[in-house]
Amino acid sequence: MSSSKFSKIAQIIEERIENGEYLLNSKLPTHRVLADELNTTPVTIAKAYKLLSNKGKIESFVGRGSFVCGESNLNSAIKASEMEETFNFSILQPCLYKNVVPLQKAYQVASEKLTASLIGYTEHTGHENHREAGVAWAKYFGLTGGSVDNTLLTNGAQHALSLLIHALTKPGDTIAVEEKTYPGTLAIASLSGRKVVKVSMDEHGVSPEALELVIDEWKPKLVVIVPSHQNPTGITMPEVRRRKVAEVIKRKDIWLVEDDIYCFLDERPIPAISNFIPEKAFHISALSKALSPAMRCGYIKAPESHVELLNAHIRANIWLSPPINYIAATYLIESGEAFKIAEQQRKTAFERQTIARKILPTIQCRSTGYHIWLPLPLHWTSERFVAEAKNRHVIISSGSYFDATGHESRHVRLSLMSISSEAQLEEGLRILQNLLESKITTFPF
């Protein structure tokens, strides 16, 4: 059989996905049923499915069949922790079992603090002491200039990103993102009709020269930058680079959205980029990565000029972020417990990075944070590596999920924190190392 036969069949299936005949997330026909319909053999269908799986269009599961992938890579990049897979390296979250007891206590304290006014509607800006705690949290890790008047409460950093993109841009506008970026930002852009342009990075993060060129050519309204432990590359921008990027933004007609969700993982506080251009910068921090993503507590520090506009968006969309969670968050911050937990998670990440570097000697990034951006040998594409890892019950994220144009990638991202025991972490990493060394050619292309 010529290779073009299964390619043509893959094309037919792709067209059926595009025209809605095969719905997103739906199960595809079995090999035999489709072979009968298309007058070919089940082997040819299997090859076509494999081709589509390598392209990230469909996903196949042993014993369950093949499914059309959902539209957003966000779903693929991050697999919920309830999934039955044994080694889940796909979620960037703290080692949760370490945080259960302090969070139980915080919510117990919160429940004792509940009063009639705290359980009722309140101003959409939330309670002042809850904003004050947000100011203290971000200040501790390097943000200056925060106050109860310029700090807003959000439902985590994802909500903050969505809120800022909607408030600062219109459909059809362009936003600039790092060359490799957090898929949550790409998902907001794609669902809300914003175009995305990529800014090149080097080992210190976004290149100021590249940013300037992109601004001149594409006129993006805002640029989203993750300055510390960038997702996915793990890069932390040194202060000198932050200053240079700030200089470019200051001169140009563009807003900065600084997503500083991993700032607590820096060994010492590094000044936020926003410190150098407070009038042009929106700074996001959140408790999701240090304490718990389930709290949905995030903070935006905004230029005074935009506080009212953002409040109007919060009021219109969610009225206010849940005060009950903010009581617990504020207790944890005011008592100092939140900073202790953050420090413990930072140390755990550091220890796990050391374990990973012993087992996977090809790690190049210098990250000390939650994840690793792992380069693959030439004989692997990221999609195939992810698929083969999945066959071995190891869930990792393909590098292409982090690319605005979905380009094939030679990297995968591994989160080191979502597996609870170190022994299991090591076992999963060894499976990946064996796979990296193997010369599997399960398919002839």
Question: Considering only 130-138, 151-159, 236-244, 425-433, which stretch makes contact with ligand PLP by CB under 6 A?
Answer: 151-159
259 contacts 217 by C-beta, under 8 angstroms? no
Asked if 102 is part of the footprint of ligand PLP (rule: CB under 6 A), the reply reads no
Q: How far is the CB of 261 from ligand PLP (least distance, A)?
A: 5
The token duo for 24 is: 């997103």
Q: Which of 14, 178, 259, 403 binds ligand PLP (CB under 6 A)?
A: 259
173 contacts 196 by C-beta, under 8 angstroms? no
The token duo for 188 is: 């907001």
Q: Which of 22, 49, 87, 182 binds ligand PLP (CB under 6 A)?
A: 182
Asked if 415 is part of the footprint of ligand PLP (rule: CB under 6 A), the reply reads no
Nearer to ligand PLP, 127 or 413 (CB): 413
Q: Which helix (H) or strand (E) holds 255?
A: strand 255-259
Q: Which of 13, 28, 74, 92 binds ligand PLP (CB under 6 A)?
A: 92
Asked if 246 is part of the footprint of ligand PLP (rule: CB under 6 A), the reply reads no
Helices and strands of the chain, counted as H and E runs: 15, 16
437 contacts 272 by C-beta, under 8 angstroms? no
Asked if 428 is part of the footprint of ligand PLP (rule: CB under 6 A), the reply reads no
Q: How far is the CB of 162 from ligand PLP (least distance, A)?
A: 9
Asked if 261 is part of the footprint of ligand PLP (rule: CB under 6 A), the reply reads yes
Tell me the HSE value of 302 on the side-chain side, using a 13 A CA sphere: 24
Which of 48, 40, 27, 9 has its CA nearest to residue 443?
Answer: 48
The token duo for 316 is: 């219109």
Tokens 């841009």 identify what position?
169
Nearer to ligand PLP, 161 or 246 (CB): 161
CA–CA gap between residue 130 and residue 212 (Å, rounded): 37
Residue count at the site for ligand PLP (CB under 6 A)?
Answer: 14
Site string for ligand PLP, 283-322 (x = CB under 6 A): ---x-x----x----x------------------------
Q: Which of 53, 231, 275, 397 binds ligand PLP (CB under 6 A)?
A: 231
CA–CA gap between residue 2 and residue 302 (Å, rounded): 59
Residues in touch with ligand PLP (CB under 6 A): 92, 156-158, 182, 184, 226, 231, 259, 261, 286, 288, 293, 298
